[in-house]
Homo-oligomer: A and B are copies of this chain.
């Protein structure tokens, strides 16, 4: 079972909300606010404790302390991926590899952290023209798909289309279609180190997607799925082992000269 309560940090770029009247109107509390509310509503106060953090805060609100107290981080960014400091990206990656769960949302496909964890360009096709999106479940008994209809009908959305340059997902959970006929692997789960990563594409600042009950249900399911089993944040490490070490429990110090070049 996972940690309880699950401590969630909802990270929002918070640029469009400040800059674009249309977005401010759709999301008075920011997309991060809407997402945080949705997760709390779905899982309940005894199951989850949710906070938000934004780009503009010192260290983008993602200090070592904050991450040590985060079981699952959600990430939405779009206009300012380049402004996220490499130092914070390194820190987030280290925490994911050490067990922290990560949900990457929509245009977050182009974030430094998602591209870092995937190793690919993460490019795709797109169009913002009020397509209707249908999110179909291809893994019906996966925990992330629990309690959501197939298809989820999102009346107005930005189209994302293949080819989506990602590694083949460890588990493919949702595939979307759009009015224009495009398809997209919209729900993709990965393991990276000790952590779980889930990419979910629906959501755009110009559409009320983060008020959609089924979308919020998926995010809540994904938080539960991505939460680690333990609060111990242990990074995978190099170990130099003498022969038969497991018979005696003996191992050489883990401080390894090769770690210097990481």
Contact = CB atoms under 8 A, between A and B. Distances in A.
Contacts of A1: 1
B120 A241 contact: no
A156 to B, nearest CB: 14
Interface in A178-195: 179-183, 185, 190-195
A198 to B, nearest CB: 15
Contact of A127 (B136, B192, B242, B247): B242
A158 to B, nearest CB: 11
Nearest to A122: B236
A61 interface: no
Contact of A191 (B139, B163, B190, B228): B139
Contact of A138 (B82, B121, B164): B164
A99 B247 contact: no
Nearest to A83: B261
B175 A183 contact: yes
A235 interface: yes
Given A137-B163, A181-B134, A237 B123 contact: yes
Interface in A97-150: 97, 99, 110, 116-121, 123-127, 129, 131-132, 134, 136-141, 143, 146, 149-150
A185 B193 contact: no
Contact of A246 (B151, B170, B241): B151
B241 A125 contact: yes
A217 to B, nearest CB: 14
A237 B125 CA distance: 8
A93 B120 CA distance: 8
A243 B194 contact: no
B238 A123 contact: yes
A25 interface: no
5 contacts: A131-B243, A161-B241, A175-B183, A177-B177, A180-B243
Give 10 closest A-B pairs by Cβ, nearest first: A82-B261, A165-B236, A117-B119, A180-B243, A141-B194, A177-B177, A123-B238, A119-B119, A175-B183, A125-B239
